[in-house]
Amino acid sequence: MDFTMGKAGAELRAELRRLVPEHVPPDFLGAFTGDPADLDVAQRFCRTLAGRGLLCMAWPEEFGGRGASVWEQTVVREEMWAHHEPRGAQYMGVNWVGPTIMRHGTAEQRRRHLPPIARGEVIWCQGFSEPDAGSDLASLRTAARRDGDGWAVSGQKIWTSYATMAQWCFLLARTSTGERRQQGLTIFLVPMSDPAVEVRPIDCMMGPHHLNEVFFDGLRVTEADVLGTVDEGWKVVQEVLAFERVGIARYARCERLLQAAPDVLGEEWGGLPAELRGRWARMLTHCRRARLLAYRVVALQSRGTVRPGDAAAYRIAVTRLDQESAEVLMEIAGLAPPGGDAARRFRLAVEDHWRYSQAATVASGSIEIQRILLARALLTPDRAAS
């Protein structure tokens, strides 16, 4: 396996590694801190990437991309996550909101939404989970009821990342009832600036912007806001979740931090307990495993087929890697020498990684749900494929 993805991939990776230190401060730990300057850094860097044709590389040229391969886009994805995602929340628009609009949107929706995403100018949030509909998403209660020539949407979403900074929401609501809960769901593209939308932040250990409640009080939407077919949104959601789950290359950040540890500790590295160094080596092996599983899903996506079991296998591997590597890294960071910028930045990055890892097994579908999906794929492959 060539992890550089050939000469073109290696050159692209080198270009990105030059760009990041040129445009991103060395202490940057993501766009979602309490300091507005971090979001400004991310938004400027997105525009820089877009200006070089690097933000939406794999998009067709007609939609603002450059028709690159999904493997080149994967290089971008890995380098961004390895460096604390200096695109901020743009990965959501790039990885799945934009591609979903390409496949299911009207000509007007494509014209309206795709160019701003490709230019790195707009942030999206995802209106899926609810207080009583998290892993069991199909049981959601947010309702869109027919009202004249449109709908009135009322309900509540929760755990909505980036809702405080997003301009648009990819909203799933119930428009009718059927024999199965998955029937009668519809996707709406709605502006967060509408007065009928209220956002309430939820304090959490990961910092601001990550968790929010969103309330819809008689929000008016029209046919122009419907993505795809009314009542058939579940099919689109299944596709979206597969793209979302593989689109976050957490293994790249794990590997970068693990690889940095020996250099940060210097002479102290040889004095680490053999058991700890053994766990460190095991985590590097698990990074490669997660990467290979991600590449398997990328290959399937490039052929237009996404199997839930493959996406679930990747999610299980990468979320366990997140948490297990965080524990190893925290132990190593505690033994790092106290002085020097490199050691200080390493400790801060490891602490940031540990905080995020605590939510890894519930974000984007809990690990228990991923195990169910994988079990179905293994035990009933024909049913899982459908």
What is the token pair recorded at 6?
Answer: 């050939």
| CA dihedral angle for residue 334, residue 335, residue 337, residue 341, rounded to 10 degrees | -40
Sequence-ordered list of residues with C-beta below 8 angstroms from that of 362, at least 6 positions apart, any chain = 134
Q: Which residue has the tokens 């899903």?
A: 297
Same-domain status, 269 and 370: yes
Same-domain status, 325 and 367: yes
CATH code assigned at 265: 1.20.140.10
CB 369 within 8 A of CB 135: yes
Length of the chain: 386
pLDDT by residue (tens digit) across 335-355? 988 888 999 999 999 999 999
pLDDT at residue 133, as a whole number: 87
Q: Determine, yes or no, domain membership for 203.
A: yes
The predicted model gives 261-276 an average pLDDT of: 94
Q: Determine, yes or no, domain membership for 338.
A: yes
Q: Determine, yes or no, domain membership for 237.
A: no
Full domain range(s) for residue 145: 126-231
383 pLDDT higher than 70:
no
3-12, 32-41, 92-101, 115-124: segment of lowest average pLDDT: 3-12
pLDDT by residue (tens digit) across 78-130? 999 999 999 999 988 998 999 999 999 999 999 999 999 999 999 999 999 99
Same-domain status, 355 and 343: yes
CATH code assigned at 162: 2.40.110.10
Burial of 206 (0-12, 13-18, 19+ CB in 10 A): middle
Sequence-ordered list of residues with C-beta below 8 angstroms from that of 129, at least 6 positions apart, any chain = 137, 157, 158, 159, 160
CB 261 within 8 A of CB 280: yes
380 pLDDT higher than 90:
no
> Looking at the annotation, which residues are catalytic?
244
Same-domain status, 116 and 88: yes
386 pLDDT higher than 60:
no
pLDDT by residue (tens digit) across 148-196? 999 999 999 999 999 999 999 999 999 999 888 899 999 999 999 999 9
CATH code assigned at 70: 1.10.540.10
Q: Determine, yes or no, domain membership for 307.
A: yes
CB 192 within 8 A of CB 150: no
DSSP string, 235-286: HHHHHHHHHHHHH--HHHHHHHHHHHHHHHHGGGGGGS-HHHHHHHHHHHHH
Average predicted confidence (pLDDT) for the chain? 90
What is the token pair recorded at 128?
Answer: 């899926």
Same-domain status, 80 and 171: no
Same-domain status, 115 and 133: no
Same-domain status, 300 and 184: no
Same-domain status, 136 and 114: no
Same-domain status, 134 and 97: no
Residues linked to residue 198 through DSSP beta bridges, in sequence order: 215
Domain stop point among 73, 91, 122: 122
Same-domain status, 339 and 211: no
Q: Determine, yes or no, domain membership for 27.
A: yes
pLDDT at residue 364, as a whole number: 64
Helix, strand, coil content of the chain in percent (nearest 5)? 55, 15, 30
Domain stop point among 167, 197, 231: 231
pLDDT at residue 334, as a whole number: 93
247 pLDDT higher than 70:
no
Domain stop point among 179, 202, 231: 231
Q: Determine, yes or no, domain membership for 156.
A: yes
Q: Determine, yes or no, domain membership for 244.
A: no
The number of folded domains in the chain is: 3
Same-domain status, 320 and 355: yes
Q: Determine, yes or no, domain membership for 340.
A: yes
DSSP string, 203-227: --TT-TTS-EEEEEEEEEEEGGGEE
Q: How far apart are CA 102 and CA 304, in angstroms?
A: 13
Same-domain status, 154 and 33: no
